[in-house]
Amino acid sequence: MAEEKTTILDGVGVKRALTRIAHEILERNKGIADLVLVGIRTGGVHLARELSARLEEIEGGRVPVGEVDITLYRDDVKGHAPHLPVGKTDIPFSVEKMKVVLVDDVLFTGRTIRAAMDAIMDHGRPDCIQLAVLIDRGHRELPIRADFVGRNVPTSRKENIVVMFDADNRPTEVVLEK
Amino acid sequence: MGFKHKDIIGLQDLTREEIQLLLDTAENMKEISDRDIKKVPTLRGKTVVNVFYEASTRTRTSFEIAAKRLSADTINISASTSSTTKGETLSDTALNILAMKPDIIVMRHAASGAHHYLAQRVSCSVINAGDGAHEHPSQGLLDMLTMRQKFGTIEGLKVAIVGDITHSRVARSAIFGLTKMGAAVCLAGPPTMMPPGIERLGNVTVCTDMRDAIEGADVVMMLRIQLERQGKTLLPTLREYARYYGLNPGNLPLAKKDAMVMHPGPINRGVELSSYVADGDQSYILKQVENGVAVRMSMLYHVSGGELPTE
Amino acid sequence: MNLLIKGGRVIDPSQGIDETLDLLVENGKVKEFGKGISAPAGAETIDAAGMIVTPGLIDMHVHLRDPGLEYKEDIVTGTRAAAVGGFTSVACMPNTKPVNDNKAVTSYIITKARNEGIVNVFPVGSITQGSKGEALAEMGDLKEAGCVAVSDDGRPVTSSELMRRALEYAKGMGIMVISHAEDLSLVGEGVMNEGIVSTELGLKGIPWAAEDAATARDVYLAELTNSPLHIAHVSTKGALRIIRNAKARGVKVTCETAPHYFSLTDDAVRGYNTNAKMNPPLRTADDVAAVKAALADGTIDAIATDHAPHHLDEKDVEFNVALNGIIGLETSLPLSLKLVEEGVLTLPALVEKLACNPAKILGIDRGALKPGSVADITVIDPNAAWTVEAEKLASKSKNSPFIGLEMKGAAVYTIVGGKMVFKRN
């Protein structure tokens, strides 16, 4: 079966979406005080760095970026034989009493977000956790909702959404694979 | 690439890629032990049974901590192999443990091959925490992790291993693992403690003079000498052993300037290792212990992933 | 019952016969052999075309475990396994419970074998009382009761002085001493051959020198005392060199090897296979080559199995606590026939080592098919292909490293005293 690919966001579209999300984060949190970003490996980490750069452009201060690997928190560990390789979790700051913005590329069932929230909670007790995603494709299986969304894309379960990155880990486009 | 084995009996059975995967996972699991909440839910509901036929506080504790950090339930069984009180056979012990429905058995046993035997008879995973003079894979892995943290790679390292090679499972796992990862291993020890044919196990050379082995080495691994086990036919005295096969500030400079000094513990201070060296800047002994937990978490995680489904 | 074995290749090295002949057995004895013999009235005829007809095979080194260790084997099952393997006679070692160091035990074995066994059983008594290596056993009594040799098999006579006296004393009684040549202090806690495999597996090794040194001692003592000596289960290159040299200078030494010493190396231990654990241990490829060379040049006189049955509970354990030994009666013939296929031995030379020489060494009236000889005959199909299966073995124990392997060659008829005791289906 030949795969059909449709571009949902091109390079410019992705940039615009991220800029808008950065503004929304600032508006919601009234600046960057106590704000930290935690990207979910691996796409979410790249996007978190992009967002951090934009926040710095706008506000002139650095927002720290951490990365979380959710492999050890998956609810379907058993379903993977052999077990998936474990990626690096690196949160080089305390999340205690911080406003954590969790960043991922695509929000789908919500299970990854649940795992990431558990992982962050194991690092400390943040003031709050917010969720920023580039694409929300629906089909939630848990009561989870994004605070900041780049684009809502209605999909069927069989379809696949891929966020593409270039060699420098900068987002280039988002495609829908049928 | 995944880890396809039900058991980890020895590093001899693993490929370079599998060892790499175990080390990478261990590296990424280290972070868990640095948190306030030193626990991930991965092996929740799994039961790990530690069966130790030989006393070993540190290895057992390390496995126990590793299992707990992955949220597994752990049970410790100290079994006795005393030949005076004719104990239960290994086969019966295995069946009894199986009745507890464990997911992983971590065993230490005085008989080389005991894990081989056990793994063929139980459906759950078996991890070797040391079998006789055969293998001690978790020690081999933590040694390699410690080296890799310092040098970035194991490929091309010169590693000297000094001591009683014949009776050492630590040495065998190190040799199998290191040579597979591309290191050159130089062994030294009294010829009474050098098993025949060991130089045929890969990139391994044997030196009778310890100084030849440690010269230019990146890593010097000292083995624990156990006179009570070896008896008097292999060595005259510990005093003479220390003189010819001990690492001290006098001979350590033969190794590379920033060479690592390693020891599986517990140390006989003043015998194979002088306190100056054991507590010196080049000593990575405590780092090894620290890495032990991460390596054992990695082993527990990957064996519980089970075998590849055959499709 | 009379029997005519028609058209087989009759091989009897004791008479230099190797040709297609008919063989007539009457009243338990060989009546005649020749071409075109017709069956007398009432005689059963065996069509032996394509088969080999030999003097009944003799295994001069087996453990029947009876009395005392019948849970491993007994005279009934052990002689049955012998018959299946083509053996019409076996010599059984004295390490029973109690040890066969007195005529009461010897008589028990002989009586039970006569009543319940199906092949000839020739007991071997012990050299020392209780095989303890302290005091000589009553060799005169043992011989009179029916023992064909003495041995402390399973262990050496550690005292050189006692071994010297044993050789001297046995000579006076006209009984052969069989040596289990092993230096126990060199063996130590060893459980397999010392070498690269033991190094890899982390198992304690037994150096070849443990066998060589003990063989040398016993050969020198045989030379000193001018007594005959038979060395059991030779497995090393060095021991064979010692025996070869001794024979060349006229020492009355003979020796045997077992099929596993020319079929397997210590590689078989990998995986901690307890069915590859025996004493002496499986050696290296070099030793296997030396054993074959020594079979070819006549240094090794006999092939004996060292059939050593053990219960599953004694083998299904960690390697270092497993008991030594494997069963061998039912696999010896095909493994030995392989030597012919490999060109190590001619068929007649093989028959010598499996029948004629053991008879000669033990001084028993067997191993030949002359008119008037006791009709112990083995009819062999050298091409029979079969697989060793544990549940089909006649032996009570199943401790064989050859289980699951393909074999070529088998006994088709085993005839003891003119009576067919085994027929292969």
Question: Is B196–C321 a contact, with Cβ atoms under 8 angstroms apart?
Answer: no
Q: Which fold has domain C57-362?
A: TIM Barrel (3.20.20)
Q: How much is the average pLDDT of A21-42?
A: 95
φ, ψ at B219 (rounded to 5°): -135, 135
Q: What is the pLDDT of residue A1?
A: 47
Residues of chain B whose C-beta is under 8 A from some C-beta in C?
12, 89-91, 109, 111-114, 116-117, 131-135, 166, 169, 172, 195-198, 200-201
CB contact at 8 A, C43 and C5: no
pLDDT at position B306: 59
pLDDT band at C89 (very low <50, low <70, confident <90, very high): very high
pLDDT digit string (tens) for B75-85? 998 876 544 34
Nearby residues of A178 by Cβ (< 8 Å), 6 or more positions away: A3, A4, A5, A6, A158, A159
Could B89 and C271 be called an inter-chain contact, meaning their C-beta atoms sit closer than 8 Å?
Answer: no
Q: Which CATH architecture has domain C3-52+374-423?
A: Roll (2.30)
What is the average pLDDT across A19-48? 95
Instruction: Give the neighbours of chain A: at least 3 Cβ pairs within 8 Å.
Output: B
Best B23, B29, B33, B42 residue to mutate vs chain A (most A CBs within 10 Å): B42
- How large is the average pLDDT for residues C396-422? 97
Q: Indicate the range of A3-7, C233-237, C416-420 predicted with least confidence.
A: A3-7
Q: Would the CB atoms of B41 and A73 count as touching at under 8 Å? A: yes
Domain boundaries of chain C, sorted by first residue:
3-52+374-423, 57-362
pLDDT at residue C125 in the model = 98
Beta bridge partners of A133: A104, A149
pLDDT tens for each residue of C16-56: 999 999 999 999 999 999 999 998 888 999 999 999 999 99
Question: Is pLDDT above 50 for C407?
Answer: yes
Element of type H or E holding C160: helix C160-173
What is the pLDDT, as a whole number, of residue B81?
54
Write the pLDDT tens digit of every residue in C181-199: 999 999 999 999 999 999 9
Q: Is C23 helix (H, G, I), strand (E, B) or coil?
A: strand
The reported pLDDT for the residue numbered B90 is 86
DSSP bridge pairs for A136 = A107, A152
What was the pLDDT predicted at B56? Answer: 84
Is B199 in the A-facing interface, judged by CB distances under 8 Å?
A: no
Dump pLDDT digits (tens) for A61-88. Answer: 999 999 999 999 988 876 667 888 899 9
Q: Which residue of chain B has the CA closest to A80?
A: B305
Report how far residue A174's alpha carbon sits from residue A13's, in angstroms, rounded to the nearest whole number: 9
Q: What is the pLDDT of residues A123-173, one digit of tens each?
A: 999 999 999 999 999 999 999 999 999 999 999 999 999 999 999 999 999
Tell me the per-residue pLDDT of B110-150, one tens digit each, with 9 for 90 and over: 999 999 999 998 989 999 999 999 999 999 999 999 999 99
* Sheet containing A65-68, strands listed edge to edge, beginning at the edge strand earlier in sequence: A65-68, A35-40, A99-107, A128-136, A148-152
Do B134 and C201 lie within an 8 Å CB cutoff?
yes
Q: Which of C301, C306, C376, C381 is catalytic?
A: C306
pLDDT band at residue A25, thresholds of 50, 70 and 90? very high
Note whether A85 contacts B36, CB cutoff 8 Å: no
Closest to A45 in 3D by CA, of A146, A162, A148, A132: A132
Chains contacting chain C through 3 or more C-beta pairs under 8 A? B
Chain B residues within 8 A of A111 when measuring between CB atoms: none
CB of A42 within 8 Å of any CB in chain B? no
CA distances from C112 to A53, A127, C93, C122 (A): 97, 91, 15, 12
CB-CB under 8 Å, B91 with C199: no
Can chain B be said to touch chain A, i.e. do they have 3 or more Cβ pairs within 8 angstroms?
yes
DSSP 8-state assignment for residue C354: I
Reported as type and span, the H/E element at residue A128 is: strand A128-136
Q: Per-residue pLDDT tens for B11-27?
A: 999 999 999 999 999 99
Q: What percent of chain B has pLDDT over 70?
A: 94
| Residue C306: active-site member | yes
